[in-house]
Structure 1
Amino acid sequence: VVPLMVATVVGLVLLWPRGETPVRSVPVHAPGTSIEIGTVVDILEETGSAEFGMGGQVRVELETGQGAGHTVPAQVPPEVMANGVDVGDRMRLMVIPEALGTGSPYIFWDFERTVPVGWLALGYALAVLLVARWRGLAAMVGLGASLAVMVVFVLPALMLGHPPLLVALVGSAAMLFLSLYLAHGVSIRTTTALLGTFVGLAITVVLALWGTRAVNLTGTGSEQSLTLINAFPNLSLADLLLCGIVIAGLGALNDVTITQASTVWELHAANPALSRRRLFSQGMRVGRDHIASTVYTLAFAYVGTALPMLMLAALMDRSGLETLMSGEIAEEVVRSLVSSIGLVLAVPITTGIAALLAPNTPSTSSRTAQTGLAASGSTVGGQ
């Protein structure tokens, strides 16, 4: 593990984004406009037609800006009104002074979601703490550290034009070290899971390299990709797609490898006399169940994420195979297959490493129990 850690540190030093980065360099709104927050207090009217959609006006009590505390009319687009706007909803409004002639300078920009998302995050944290206690707290710290790597290193490095695959490998390695060791502690068991995860990651990288090139995936299947081309003309979207595939498989890999390492360690603790072959075979019984459940979990996760795109693809008059082989769908298929293969192969690899590294001597409790039995046997024999 030490060489991997050294390589990760060297990679971070060499690829670290230096100087000014493009992060937050594009303004959200035009000069002379501003974004204010307010709460809907009344639905005034709906305007429009069935053909062009129903827009409308609402009255909003402003919470920020020069008009804070005042109630003003705001214009809401028809697609937002169609999805439902209720009294009490909090909105972000763009203030466009030039739009005063249309009825109101306040135009709907987005919903303000900070409070409900904050409650969800708090509920998540409480659930983790109540069930996993200190281990859960450590896991959340590891998650926060991993997200910090994404924000501070991966995204700026990609924006500055560093090789996406190298950035993905170094960033993934850093996230693995932080998340696993912070969540599960520094131990041989955790190191076993880490080694298995790195092997699974290497398999994923090799398969992703071959898959994206063999299938001729370009990474240009979405509007976001076209926007990135305009912002970063020298960025290779195919390499960026490869980077995304590598990072996307980390969570599932962590899951299966730490489970397999823990399974083998618990089997050894329960029966220290088990040979390494038996440890491996019994650990794989659990591993096969884990594979069976995790594979369709990954597939369902990708299907759920790509559901709008799947609906659009299904509108086309073509066969199911042609739909699957279209560029935008093929990206998700390759992503799912590559991640799943890496995950499946990581299970026996991690189980084998754990069986090799499991302690050779019985645990303290086992030795104590054996000593007690031996003493009892001697006493009985003496009688």
Structure 2
Amino acid sequence: MMRPVTHSHSHSHDHGPATPASRRLRTVIAAVLIPFALLVFGGMLALWPGDAPSHERTGVGFDTQRQRARVTELEEVKCAEVNAQSRTADGHADPDEMCERATIEVISGPNKGRTFKDIVTPGALRRYDVGQELVVSYQPKAPPEVQYAVVDVVRSVPLMVLAVLFAVAVVLVGRLRGLAALVALAVSFAILILFILPAIIEGSNPLLVAVVGGSAIMLIALYLSHGFNARTSVAAIGTLASLLLIGLLGSLFIGWTKLTGSTDDFTGLIHQQYPGIEMSGLLLAGVLIGSLGVLDDVTVTQASAVWELRQAEPGASWRKLYGSAMRIGRDHIASVVNTLVLAYAGASLPLLLLFTTARVGVTGVLTSELVTQEVVRTLVGSIGLVASVPLTTMLAAMVLAADTGGSPAAPAQGRGRRRKR
């Protein structure tokens, strides 16, 4: 299945503390965001999942378990002796071709200590090393000789090392702001794992769950990362408006292009195990959640740009603030859209190679459901991102221009400069 790479078009948003907003401006923003936040977290409570439905309740009698195992021995054997499907270029079996026979010991579960064999042919992509830890599937009801099968390798250590390196880099460069961003990232994953995925599995509407969960992620991530101030609140409103646009466009074009959301073995298995899940709604939910990261980037950058311009020229009108900030925004749009397209193309590279070798025409490739799904996902997300720039910029410019009750020093400085000119 083509899965989008997480949208990580990162910029530093540490523009220093925002200029204090007036009491009136804070009141207006609070009047918009507080009811919205209460609605979001109330929705989370209403949709909070109980116990996820088991396979037995959904009518699919899968009882496969995942356990861990370790390679204890490797030996070379002739492929012909183990009835391997080994062929030479002319299509005949090669009696001298050598395979590897791995002895694998189960190290978890009720049959800990049990061993089984696995044959690795010369053309296999996965190779074993002695001591390597593996993930194996266990089917208790299967015959003993086929109860275990290797399904993956254990990658915990390298992933943990990479995560630690990432966290250290973020904290070293971002300091307290970087630490806050890491906390926001952890909260985002917690909402995804504890709320969004279980609620969808339980049968709640995927789009509704994504809107509620995504909005909660947006609010928590923005305020933890960028502080409780008017600038962050304007970015939050801009992000919300852009998410609504993405949701409307996504719903329209997913329906118009007749996308089912079930395009490969993984989505087919989900539909088989949990037939109550609306797969097209799940696709739209993925579009919304996948757009959140870059929306945060764009809206905070634009709000910060307007605030910085206002600090540099306190007497500027909202039109001047908007025009100056949009010059920054246009550069941002170009780089973000390019990032999104390349990210999706990179994630879909194996599929594009398959279409190329099959010599399917460009029209055939683009109109196939697999590719159309990614085209719709990319373009709908990109339209939302592009729209977020003028939306957030105009909102920030109009809010600041209307905030006549802000810091008293700023207007005084502005009048002093006009007298000098």
TM above 0.5, one fold? yes
Match of 1:121, SS? Answer: helix
Match of 1:249, SS? Answer: helix
1:75 aligns with 2:118: yes
1:28 shift after superposition: 8.8
Residue by residue over 1:30-78, the C-alpha shift from the partner in whole angstroms, topping out at 9 and shown as x without a partner, is 47xx73332566554573424699752235687667998x997742444
1:360 shift after superposition: 4.4
1:284 corresponds to which letter in structure 2? M
Which of 83, 92, 105 in structure 1 is aligned with 2:135? 92
RMSD of aligned residue pairs (Cα, Å): 3.6
Deviates more, 1:360-369 or 1:177-186: 360-369
1:109 shift after superposition: 3.4
Residue by residue over 1:4-53, the C-alpha shift from the partner in whole angstroms, topping out at 9 and shown as x without a partner, is 112212211222223x213798999647xx73332566554573424699
In structure 2, the partner of 1:269 is 311
Gaps of 5+ in 2: 1-32
1:58 aligns with 2:102: yes
CA distance in 1, matches of 2:62, 2:213: 28
CA distance in 2, matches of 1:347, 1:335: 19
1:267 corresponds to which letter in structure 2? L
Which of 260, 280, 296 in structure 2 is aligned with 1:218? 260
Which of 148, 156, 159 in structure 2 is aligned with 1:114? 156
In structure 2, the partner of 1:299 is 341
1:22 aligns with 2:53: yes
Identical positions, percent: 35
Q: Which has the higher contact order (CA 8 A, sep 6+)?
A: 2
CA distance in 2, matches of 1:156, 1:66: 27
CA distance in 2, matches of 1:157, 1:130: 37
Residue by residue over 1:231-266, the C-alpha shift from the partner in whole angstroms, topping out at 9 and shown as x without a partner, is 112222111111111111111111101111111112
Q: 1:23 to 1:153 in 2, by over 3 A?
A: farther
The structure carrying a bigger helix percent of its residues is 1
**Residues 55 and 78 in structure 1, CA contact (< 8 A), matched pair in contact too:** yes
1:283 shift after superposition: 0.8
In structure 2, the partner of 1:184 is 226
Q: 1:54 to 1:198 in 2, by over 3 A?
A: farther
Match of 1:234, SS? Answer: coil
Which of 296, 299, 320 in structure 2 is aligned with 1:254? 296
CA distance in 2, matches of 1:272, 1:128: 33
Q: 1:79 to 1:220 in 2, by over 3 A?
A: farther
Deviates more, 1:71-80 or 1:267-276: 71-80
CA distance in 2, matches of 1:122, 1:46: 44
Which of 389, 401, 408 in structure 2 is aligned with 1:347? 389
CA distance in 2, matches of 1:348, 1:146: 27
Match of 2:125, SS? Answer: helix
Which of 44, 67, 70 in structure 2 is aligned with 1:38? 70
Aligned runs of 1:136-147 on 2, under 5 Å? 136-147=178-189
TM-score after normalising by structure 1: 0.83
TM-score after normalising by structure 2: 0.76
Gaps of 5+ in 1: 378-383
**Residues 287 and 347 in structure 1, CA contact (< 8 A), matched pair in contact too:** yes
